[in-house]
Amino acid sequence: MPEKSGLNCVPPRAAGIIRLRSVWRLRERLVGFLARIFSVHSFRGGTGKSNTSASLAVIFASRGLRVGVIDTDIQSPGLHVLFGLKGSEVTHSLNDYLWGKSTIAETAHPVLEGQLPGQIYLIPSSVRPDEIVQVLRQGYDMRKLTAAFRDLSSELNLDILLIDTHPGLNEETLFSLAISTAVLIVLRPDQQDYEGTGVTVDIARSLEVPRILLLINKAPRDYEPAQLKQSVEQTFKCEVAGVLAHDDEMLKLGSREVFVLHHRDHPISQSLEAVADRLMDG
């Protein structure tokens, strides 16, 4: 049985964001004329968060939607690999935009063109060590992310913007959560994940995120999905949108491509289709 920590703590600098209701008011002003903003988050790394973000982007584009997917995991980017884009092929990245070297539209790379009824635009982060270190040392103005989301939505006429966040909780991640219309938290059936998810759910509620969903990933095959779903929902008082079993076929793929693109009838793909439905229901 999962145990939720009785933590009411907030990470350093996060309390300031929670007190800033102007962030919530900003989201209210954005909703209605921007794309729906879905953040995909996890408290710890290795949950399959980026694979989930990429799969959801493909699912939405397969429905004829225009989708932006932005890699805000600036410290350890990797989303581009799933879409077959090499680091050396990234001509403009999110880092370039944040440092005033390019427009946000210039960082948007069309991917999987001609393979889907809709369109996916990937906004990758840089894999260059010097640019990663620059962000770690100096940070960036989060207000630029607000402008980025607005401009991407309008200039590319997006229906959906998916934000692949950095694991854990920092000021930039909290900002992404705060302006999202829905947050999908990916976790494994692991006590460390449970504790971190409890903290994340509490903070997302403090930020008044309109919709919070959980996705259990890499569940052992001998676990009963319905029982696991019920247990986690009771613990966190939060809807579990799906339970994905550990799968050797996905593991063997090694992030070389987006799983659902060529495995549409696989149980994992079908479960992710249902997750996409739940995100759109909000």
Calpha distance 179→199 (Å, rounded): 18
pLDDT for res 29: 53
Least reliable range by pLDDT among 76-90, 115-129, 145-159, 194-208 = 76-90
* pLDDT for 18: 47
- The predicted pLDDT at position 255 comes to 67
Return the pLDDT at 186: 97
Q: What is the DSSP letter of 265?
A: T
Rounded mean pLDDT of the chain?
85
Cα(183)–Cα(180) distance, integer angstroms:
7
Statement: residue 91 has pLDDT above 90 = no
- The token pair at 31 is 């909703």
Per-residue confidence (pLDDT) for residue 119, from 0 to 100: 97
**64 falls within a domain:** yes
On whether residue 5 sits in a domain, the answer given is no
> Measured between alpha carbons, how far is 144 from 99 in angstroms, rounded to an integer?
9
Show the tokens assigned to 237: 């008082």
| Residue 90 structural domain | 14-281
Q: What are phi and psi of 140, to 5 degrees?
A: -160, 165
User: pLDDT tens-digit profile of 46-75?
Assistant: 889 999 999 999 999 999 999 999 998 877
Q: Assess if residue 74 is contained within a domain.
A: yes
4 occurs within a structural domain: no
For residue 138, the model assigns a pLDDT of 75
In a domain, 8, yes or no: no
In the predicted model, is pLDDT for residue 198 greater than 70?
A: yes
The CATH number given to whatever domain includes residue 156 is 3.40.50.300
Which tens digits make up the pLDDT trace of 231-277? 999 999 999 999 999 888 777 776 678 989 989 999 999 999 999 99
Residue 20 in this model has a pLDDT that exceeds 50? no
Q: Which of 273, 204, 253, 271 is nearest to 43 (CA)?
A: 204
Average pLDDT over residues 177-200: 93
Mean predicted confidence (pLDDT) in 209-215: 95
Would the pLDDT of 188 be above 90? yes
Of 63, 65, 195, 197, which is closest to residue 120 (Cα–Cα)? 65
Q: Is residue 267 part of a domain?
A: yes
Total domain count for the chain?
1
For residue 9, pLDDT over 80 is answered with no
Between 29 and 49, the more confident residue is 49
